[in-house]
């Protein structure tokens, strides 16, 4: 999966945030380092919400923090509103940071337990010397009302006297005090109950409309990300593997990893059998200290072939505004949605790939004879460069 490249960056647009070839590495002993983020590129236009998703340990939170230069990236550029933040130092960087605010994953630990919540929300105004005391109180009161909290009842209380959802509302109010242009939400609902998650997501949407915000929404829950994102980038082990609009990504995921993530979303209906059991990812996430060669997803990918170990995939456009970094992305059959039984390979190697799987009897969950029939159908299509396997699911259980 995961590859490099900048084909998904929009040349004609004037993005508020443009990240190119971002690399973040941490020392891990003598001669070793953690490859947390490796050659990641993306852009966000003004008023847009970019969802950044992936399983725990993929580097999405590190990417979000590197945008605001905590920590400083090892290499790459982060251009915000026309200025490269990686080239700014000390006071220059400090003065541009109020325009970029963060909402952290744990709402309670991100608030000072010794201070009253009204003082916490007002602190950005005090630090930057904005307004007099009475003016600051008015602005804080407005912020509390905007996030659905009563200022008078909250004014004398401290963070431990609020629920997790209320603390996250307080964090959102604090992030909005300096009227930022960009809001980075680092898994803002992952620690909250489902009902509270819906409230916070609705609140973020309201705040986006009210304040004209541009957002980077980081999460590991694809169902959550779809509700708030205009565009989604999927990450795996420090790399971006797929970029598309939210609707396109959910309707027709092209990368094996993205499709497996979508298939893993449970359906809240006991009468509906679990979908995509044969797509479930096996094994653990490889170590970022010693990532696999070539495609980093190949050690868990049911489509992996020799080329995947030898050559890193470069992100490319395979549908309008739909980009994938994979040598053998999944293409759906006409009239069939994502995860249906009509998967097909895309690329010059498709015919030989399907033939190899068929001869091994692994192209489907049925007997080897079905796999061989699939291989023959694939070989017949081989000259066109697209192999269709009408009998096999998008991925084999092998």
The Cα–Cα gap between 66 and 70 comes to 5
The Cα–Cα gap between 315 and 324 comes to 5
The Cα–Cα gap between 65 and 83 comes to 17
Residue 256, pLDDT > 80, answer yes
The pair phi, psi for residue 89, each rounded to 5°, is -135, 145
Alpha-helical regions (H) of 256-313: 256-263, 306-310
Q: Compute CA distances 172 → 40, 47, 208, whole Å.
A: 27, 18, 11
* Lowest-confidence pick of 18-22, 280-284, 301-305: 280-284
Q: Compute CA distances 277 → 157, 249, 266, 270, 283, whole Å.
A: 49, 20, 11, 16, 15
What is the tens place of the pLDDT at every residue in 142-162?
999 999 999 999 988 999 999
**Closest by Cα among 46, 40, 28 to 66:** 40
Per DSSP, the residues of 75-122 read EEEEEETTEEGGG--THHHHHHGGGEEEE-S-TTTTS-TTS-HHHHHH
- The pLDDT-based confidence of 222 (bands split at 50, 70, 90) is confident
**Average pLDDT over every residue of 227-250:** 94
DSSP structural state of residue 388: B
**Average pLDDT over every residue of 338-352:** 39
Question: Which residues pair with residue 314 across a beta bridge?
Answer: 4
The Cα–Cα gap between 150 and 136 comes to 16
Q: Report whether 77 contacts 59 (CB < 8 A).
A: no
Kindly give the pairing relationship between strand 49-53 and strand 231-236: parallel
- The pLDDT-based confidence of 331 (bands split at 50, 70, 90) is confident
Within 8 A by CB and 6+ apart from 185, the residues are 102, 103, 204, 215, 216, 217, 218
What is the separation of C-alpha 387 from the centre of its chain, rounded to a whole number of angstroms?
Answer: 30
**Average pLDDT over every residue of 32-55:** 95
Q: Compute CA distances 185 → 65, 93, 325, whole Å.
A: 10, 20, 25
State the residue for tokens 């060669």: 293
The Cα–Cα gap between 144 and 177 comes to 10
The rounded percent of the chain whose pLDDT value lies above 90 is: 60
Within 8 A by CB and 6+ apart from 55, the residues are 220, 236, 261, 285
* pLDDT of 156: 87
- The pLDDT-based confidence of 269 (bands split at 50, 70, 90) is confident
10 Å Cβ neighbour count for 147? 21
Residue 92, pLDDT > 90, answer yes
Q: Compute CA distances 53 → 113, 226, 310, 367, 377, whole Å.
A: 30, 10, 26, 37, 36
Sign, Cα dihedral of 317, 323, 328, 330? negative
Residue 22, pLDDT > 90, answer yes
What is the separation of C-alpha 91 from the centre of its chain, rounded to a whole number of angstroms?
Answer: 31
Q: Report whether 230 contacts 48 (CB < 8 A).
A: yes
CATH number for 17-236 (one of 3.40.50.300, 1.10.760.10, 3.30.930.10, 3.40.50.11310): it is: 3.40.50.300
Domain ranges within the chain, ordered by starting residue:
17-236, 328-398
């Amino acid at each position: 999966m995961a590859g490099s490249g900048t084909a998904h960056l929009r040349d004609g647009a004037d993005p508020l945030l443009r990240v190119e070839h971002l690399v973040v590495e941490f020392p891990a002993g003598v001669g070793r380092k953690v490859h947390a983020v490796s050659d990641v590129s993306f852009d966000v236009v003004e008023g847009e919400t970019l969802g950044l998703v992936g399983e725990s340990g993929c580097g999405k939170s590190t990417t979000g923090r590197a945008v605001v230069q905590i920590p400083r990236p090892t290499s790459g550029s982060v251009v915000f509103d026309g200025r490269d933040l990686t080239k700014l130092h000390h006071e220059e960087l400090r003065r541009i940071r109020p325009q970029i605010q963060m909402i952290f994953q744990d709402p309670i630990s991100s608030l000072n337990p010794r201070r009253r919540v009204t003082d916490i929300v007002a602190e950005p105004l005090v630090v930057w010397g904005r307004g007099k005391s009475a003016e600051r109180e008015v602005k804080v009161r407005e912020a509390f009302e905007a996030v659905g909290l009563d200022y008078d009842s909250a004014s004398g209380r401290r963070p431990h006297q609020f629920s997790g959802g209320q603390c996250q509302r307080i964090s959102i109010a604090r992030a909005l005090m300096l009227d930022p242009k960009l809001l980075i939400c680092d898994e803002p609902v992952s620690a909250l109950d489902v009902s509270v998650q819906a409230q916070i997501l609705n609140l973020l949407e309201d705040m986006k409309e009210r304040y004209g915000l541009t957002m980077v929404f980081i999460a590991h829950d694809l169902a959550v990300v779809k509700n708030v994102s205009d565009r989604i980038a999927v990450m795996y082990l420090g790399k971006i593997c797929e970029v598309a609009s939210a609707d396109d990504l959910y309707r027709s995921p092209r990368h094996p990893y993205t499709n497996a993530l979508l298939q893993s979303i449970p359906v809240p209906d006991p009468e509906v059998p679990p979908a995509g059991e044969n797509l479930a990812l096996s094994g653990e996430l490889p170590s970022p200290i010693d990532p696999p060669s070539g495609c980093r997803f190949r050690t868990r990918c049911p489509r992996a072939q020799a080329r995947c170990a030898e050559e890193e995939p470069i992100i490319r456009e395979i549908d309008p505004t739909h980009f994938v970094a994979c040598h053998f992305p999944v293409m759906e059959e006409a009239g069939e949605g994502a995860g249906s039984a009509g998967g097909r390979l895309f690329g010059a190697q498709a015919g030989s790939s399907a033939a190899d799987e068929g001869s091994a009897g692994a192209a489907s969950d049925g007997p080897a004879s079905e796999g061989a029939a699939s291989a023959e159908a694939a070989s017949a299509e081989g000259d066109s460069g697209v192999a269709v396997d009408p009998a096999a699911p998008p991925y084999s259980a092998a």
